[in-house]
Each structure stands twice: as C-alpha cells, then as structure tokens.
Amino acid sequence: MIASIILVILLSHTIESSKFTIPEATINDIQAAFNQNKLTSKDLVEFYIQRIRKLNPIYRAVIEVNPDALHLAEIADQERKNKDPISRFGLHGIPVLVKDNIATKDKLNTTAGSYALLNSVVPRDAGVVNKLRESGAIILGKASMTEWAAFRSSLLPNGWNARTKQAVNPYVATLTPCGSSTGSAISVATNMVTVSLGTETYGSILCPSSANSVVGIKPTIGLTSRAGVIPISPRQDTVGPMCRTVADAVYVLDAIVGFDKNDAVATKKALKYIPKGGYLNHLKLGGLKGKRLGVMRAYHYFGFSNDTETLNMFEKHFNILRQNGAILVENLEIVNFDHIISMFSSQDIALSAESKLALNAYLKKLVTSPVRSLADVIAFNKKHVDLERIDDYPQDVFLAAQKTNGIGKLEKEALMNLTKASKYGFEKLMNDNKLDALVTPYFEGYSVLAIGGYPGINVPAGYDKNGGPYGICFGGLKGSEPTLIEIAYGFEQTTNFRKPPANKNHV
C-alpha cells in the first residue's frame, strides 16, 4: 500500500518533470530545467530559430535573427557547466528579442524597420542591451515594429514597416496587433522567444501587450536607459519588458534598470526608485490586499472609457480585484478638467520639436550611416517611394517635425502645460485619493502615463466573444513599480487569463 503510494508519487513526479516543453516555459521553468541538466541554452536557441522559420512568415514579428545566437548559447552553456558566477543571474542563458529601434553592436542591423538605416553602424550596444549581456542573456535577434515607432506617418498601419511588412495578430488575424512594439509582443505570445524588450513613447508597450495577450511593463522615465534607442522624445521614451508572465517581466526589469553613463541625468535621477533587493521580492501572493485602486468611469478625452459596454465587461475584473482585497475607489473627479485637458493637447507641439532634435542627435552619433539627419531620412524616403511606400503612407509626421526649430517660446509653453497637466491632473488625483494605482480597461489611460513619464503594467484580462485578446492596465506615480508589480501579480495569479494562441500552425 505504502509502496504503491510512493510509486505513484514517484511516477507522477517523473511524469511531471518529463513534461518540460519549451513553449510556454517561464524563466523559472527554464532555470530549473538547466539545473537538472534537462535543457541547454543551445536547445533553446535551436528551438526558437526553428520556430521563427516556421511561424515568422505568417506573423512577421522578427526582423532579423542573430547569426551568433547559437555561439552565444554555447558560451552560456559552458559558463553554467563551469559554475561561473554570471550563471547565477536569472536571465543567464535566456534568449531575448529586442525591438528593432534598440541598438546592438553585433551583426544585427538597428533600423526602426526602415531601409534608410540599413547598413548603418551603431557606436555601441544600447544601455539596456549592455545590461542584458551583463546578466548573461542571449540576444536572439530583433523584433519588428511599426516603422520609426509610428513617427513617420499618421497613416502607417500599426505593425507595418518597410522591411518586414505587416505583422499579424496571432489570436485573430483580422484584429490589429497594435504598435509600435508589435513584434516584441507577438514573438513572446507565439513562443518564438522567451522574453522581449519593447519601447514606449505613447502607448507602444501597453497597447500591443493588450492586443496580443502579454504582460508589458512601461517603466518610469529614466528607470531604464534610453541610450542607443532610436528616439522620439527623451521626456517620454522608455524601454520595458514584454513577456508571457509578470514574473518573467520582473526578471527582465531587474536586469535592465539602473544607471547608464550614456543616459546619465535621467538614469541617475531614477536610481532612488529601484528597491533594495530588486523587484522579484514584490512577486507576492495576496499582493492586491489593501491596495487602493482608482476606477475612471468618464473623461473620454483623457483616453478613459465612458462607454457602458466596456465598463460592464470590466465589472467582472473589478469584482475580482475587490474579492482579493483591493479597495476600489470610484466616482473620481478631476478638478478643473476642461482646463487640464486643454493643456494636455500641447503634446503634439512638444513631441514634434523634441523628435527632430533627438533623432538628429542619434543619427549624428552613428559610426557610419546612409542618413545623418531627419532631412536625410525624408530625402531617402522620397527617393525610395516604392520601397518605403510613401504614396500610401506619407511622411506627414516627419515633415511636420522637420519644420520645427528647436525648443522655442511655443514649445516652452507647451512643455509647461504638460508639466501642469500632470501635476494638477494625474498626480493630484492620485495623492488626494491616496491611490496606489489607477485601474483601466485595455490600455486606457496610457496617454496620461505617457506625458508625465509614469509607469504602467498591462496584464492579460481575457478574450472577447471572437477570441480577441484584451488586457487590463495598472498605472501609478513615478517609481511605483514595486506596488504595480504586487497588484499585477496578484491579479495574474488569481485569474491566469492568458492562453497561448490556438492556431494549427503552432503544433
């Protein structure tokens, strides 16, 4: 009797442990498999390269595979065998895709999806790539994106760029995959990689995370270095993880935060937000208990939904939060809303001027490049109408930016407006109501988080009747990542909404 129980336990244990498969494996699963000698980094990289070969022609989420990835995996395997101290890091031996606007000083191109930057040579790895390598991660390749992070044309479809063409939502092909970190989201959703990095200026991590059912963290400005990232606005640009689980995203966040001398002012200022002992400590069960979450039920022009259907759909989620101990604070009012919303509209003025300055500075620093300024990029596009499809997707946003002339009187006023809108809008609302976070349907509220450089986390929240994924977003004040992680993890662990795309191509 006892023997047969033991046998059953042993059997179920072996069955359990022999069940390890790469698709859907978390970083914890993979590290356990490494430690039990059931898996090597080389196995992982070989698997993902095969999978990219098979699935990428459908989804177009990967723009380039690193020709050195297998070699890097062999090095990681050797380090693990030698018990090298680097092999103790969470990301050691884990393949990562980075968005195509994040520089890597290797055989990969860094092009923001545009032919204009093909064959340009970057001076060094981006700050975040440097930190990934220091933590032992393997750069598997570059993820596709909306070209120039949607800053070329207001008509460019989300997830389209000249080099990979249109990326496809793996859940429902007719739905938008959103952008601009499109490939970063799709590649992890479809198990073409373990984890990825995206960037956000204005919704570019939160929106594709919601649309492709992955976890996306948009960090506080300066928490992660923007050095070596093809820029739009240093005031709003940020780099963050896009992963299948909150825990995986936290492993990546832990690896990429911190000071970088090439983005010194912002990364130094944000150092105070990094918790001692890192973010992993904030993955605790019961993380929702006692958290005060603000629910916005109006303010359409702020990007908060006031439509009854959406809000009814999310009543279920709000109840889950309540049942797990969160305190939902309703009927929030923004004082002087009309005034604040009019200041808010200054964003276009600011971004237009900032993007020209920042892009010109980035292009100038390249070691070699076919383009050295925004003017050169515009000329390149005019010359390569067919390649860049300028007739279909004109470069209106670029042309508007090119007309600006630095931060003058108008821009200063616009920037002042944005600061005030954040201070008297979002910050006042959070502080007056003692909120830990705002909770919003989909990725709503992203614009408020964007203009003030505030953090947000999107977590998968289910699928609509057509199978279309949607997320829920938790946003907070600067440096509130530890609290947001507790909330996001609490929600994820009680709901487990995410399912991999059910597509016959995947088996």
Ligand X SMILES: *[C@@H]1O[C@H](CO)[C@@H](O)[C@H](O)[C@H]1NC(C)=O
The CA–CA distances, whole Å, from 311 to 65, 289, 317, 380 equal 41, 23, 10, 46
CA distance 374 to 360: 6
Q: What minimum distance in Å lies between the beta carbon of 494 and ligand X?
A: 31
142 close to 98: Cβ distance less than 8 angstroms: yes
Q: Which of 234, 256, 247 lies closest to 98, judged by CA?
A: 256
Question: Distance of alpha carbon 83 from its chain centroid, rounded?
Answer: 32
Q: Which among 87, 144, 180, 233 is annotated as catalytic?
A: 180
Of 181, 204, 209, 225, which residue is the catalytic one? 204
**Interface segment toward ligand X; rule CB under 6 A; list 11-19, 120-128, 343-351, 493-501:** 343-351
Q: How far is the CB of 420 from ligand X (least distance, A)?
A: 8
Of 13 and 297, nearer to ligand X (C-beta) is 297
Answer yes or no: 181 catalytic: no
**Closest CB to ligand X among 348 and 392?**
348
Residue 124 binds ligand X (CB under 6 A): no
Q: By CB under 6 A, tell whether 119 contacts ligand X.
A: yes
Q: How far apart are CA 111 and CA 133, in angstroms?
A: 20
Taking the complex as a whole, the smallest distance from the CB of residue 5 to ligand X amounts, in Å, to: 55
349 binds ligand X (CB under 6 A): yes
Residues 6+ apart with CB under 8 A from 133: 125, 139
Instruction: Say whether 153 is catalytic.
Output: no
DSSP assignment of 214-235 equals: -EEEEPPBTTB--TTB--S-TT
Residue 87 annotated to the active site:
no
Scan residues 398-417 and list those touching ligand X (CB under 6 A).
410, 413-414, 417
Choosing from 21, 306, 323, 433, the residue that interacts with ligand X (CB under 6 A) is: 306
Which one among 137, 343, 390, 484 touches ligand X, defined by CB under 6 A? 343
Of 41, 42, 99, 352, the active-site residue reads 99
Does position 108 bind ligand X by CB under 6 A?
yes
Q: What does DSSP assign to residue 383? A: H
Q: Which two tokens stand for residue 54?
A: 């098979």
Of the listed pieces 165-173, 262-270, 338-346, 354-362, which binds ligand X according to CB under 6 A? Answer: 338-346
- Residue 106's Cβ-count burial label (10 Å; 0-12, 13-18, 19+) is middle
Cβ of residue 349: shortest distance to ligand X, in angstroms?
Answer: 5
Of residues 36, 38, 53, 67, which one binds ligand X by CB under 6 A? 67
| Best CA proximity match to 398, nearest among 184, 198, 156 | 156
Q: Does 38 bind ligand X (CB under 6 A)?
A: no
The rounded distance, in Å, linking the Cα atoms of 16 and 283 is 24
Helix residue ranges per DSSP H, 153-205: 182-189
**Phi and psi angles of residue 339, each rounded to the nearest 5 degrees, phi first:** -65, -45
What residues act catalytically?
99, 180, 204
Binding site for ligand X (CB under 6 A): 64, 67, 107-109, 118-119, 298, 300-301, 306, 339, 342-343, 346, 349, 410, 413-414, 417
